Amino acid sequence: MKKKKRIIALDVGTKTIGIAITDELLITAQGLETYKRTGIKKDTDYIISLIKEKDCGTLVIGLPLNLDGTDSIQTEKVRAFREKLENKMRSNALVDVMLAWQDERYSTVEAEDVLIAANLSREERKRVIDKQAAIVILQSYMDRIEHMEKMKARKGQENLDVKSEEFSGEVIKNSSNRYFDD
């Protein structure tokens, strides 16, 4: 039986990137770290090194839409980051890693609520908020995939590719013809 590869998620900000990863059984989302950004080349190199080191098969990136679903300035920055990361992944022979967007509206609010409930000080929350937001993004993605699997089973659609669910109206393939959300 082929081992399933882990899922890694990013909450890409201007100064930091929150990073979360699944456990090896793909059951839970766990915070990995808050990476301090230093420049696009070093940032993308670092993410690629994590994908390789942690043996990830899927990369989920939080998409920071406005509350009404439209793009914001940060949305465009994150799309540009993903494009650069994708290009570098292709040049590093990572074409089999699936890329997916996950709507991250309310993820920071949800993360903040969790940290307040854990009784963390304001200073401690500031230090880990991006990592916690990445956990929320990853868990939301995992819940969405689980929901789609249940729908597939209920409808008897064995040929439905759960990873090709439409998001923002488009589904495209990466260079290895595997579907991912865009």
Selection from 95, 62, 93, 66 nearest residue 79 by Cα: 62
**Residue pointed to by tokens 């098969």:** 57
Selection from 26, 106, 21, 36 nearest residue 64 by Cα: 106
In tens, the pLDDT along 98-157 reads 999 998 877 777 777 787 888 878 888 787 778 989 999 999 999 888 888 888 777 765
Q: Is 0.85 surpassed by the pTM of this model?
A: no
**Residue pointed to by tokens 């991006």:** 130
Domains within the chain, CATH numbers bracketed: 6-157 (3.30.420.140)
In tens, the pLDDT along 61-92 reads 999 988 888 899 999 999 999 999 999 998 88
